[in-house]
Amino acid sequence: MTKFIKIIRRTLLIFLIAIPICAFAHFVLFPQQTRSILIDYSDLQKDGRLYFNYSAPQNKIDTIKLLMEIASNRVAGFWGQKTCNPTFIYCESEDDFKKYGSPYQVPALTHVKLGSYIVISHDGIDLDIIAHEISHAEFYERIGFYNWSFKIPAWFDEGLAMQNDYRDYYSEDTLRVKSNNYKDLPDVKNLTSGKQFNGEGTREQIKLNFMTAKHEVKNWYTKEKLDQLIKDINSGKSFDEVFGK
């Protein structure tokens, strides 16, 4: 056997051993993400882009599909067009949500890795929540995994998603009241990681983070600025360089 064939064989063998080890490690570290990525191999039923358990009532599935469509149009209106095509996973039971979504009590969330996966709980059947999640998927689609994971601070990603989330509780009026007419706003721009932004503090403080991030992005936003930011981020610039400190 030539030396070349030996090297090829050895490399293949290393790959064959490394792939299952990496897949297993990913499952241990990110069980919900891994299950969502492998959703085609689950026992969930599929209707278009939506996966759900057989026990979910048909009227709920019809409602979710309708909300997905209206929310997609809202997101397309904000971004000019919708370029993402996320997978949706509806979890009727809490156990299913823990399996695919999160062990924490949130109404919905978006996993982004090898595509985007929007996991909706029973409490997430809501136009604003679904539009919010599709916005995350759209931003991810436009900047890619590396930029989304390592360059974009959590406050900006959430503030941007909140532009398509019209829930009253997060409105400007609510913020004005809760922040003593904008005098007591949290310093959200220092909340760069997801943990800092929505994993620390009381529920009220976290809600205030979301409202404030929405307010900051709203004051900054124009379609041109957002397009430029994406262009600059994709060309290698850092968020601070583009957005300014």
Tell me if 213 contacts Zn ion by CB under 5 A.
no
127-164: b (≥16 Cβ within 10 Å) or e: bbbbbbbbbbbbbbbbbeeebbeebbbbbbbbbbbbbb
| CB-based closest residue to Zn ion | 161
Residues 49-78, one symbol each (x = binds Zn ion by CB under 5 A, - = not), give ------------------------------
For the chain, first and last CA: distance in Å?
Answer: 60
Please count the residues of this chain forming the interface with Zn ion, following the rule CB under 5 A.
2
Do residues 112 and 140 lie in contact, with contact meaning Cβ atoms separated by under 8 Å? yes
Between CA 138 and CA 144 the distance in angstroms is 10
Q: Hey, is 222 helix, strand or coil?
A: coil
Q: Between 96 and 158, whose beta carbon lies closer to Zn ion?
A: 158
CB of 61 to Zn ion, least distance (A): 23
Q: Between 141 and 158, whose beta carbon lies closer to Zn ion?
A: 158
Question: What's the chain's Rg over C-alpha atoms?
Answer: 20
Question: By CB under 5 A, what part of segment 141-160 binds Zn ion?
Answer: 158
Q: Between 27 and 30, whose beta carbon lies closer to Zn ion?
A: 30
Between CA 75 and CA 70 the distance in angstroms is 9
- Report the residue from 44, 89, 161, 175 that binds Zn ion according to the rule CB under 5 A: 161
- What is the binding site for Zn ion (CB under 5 A)? 158, 161
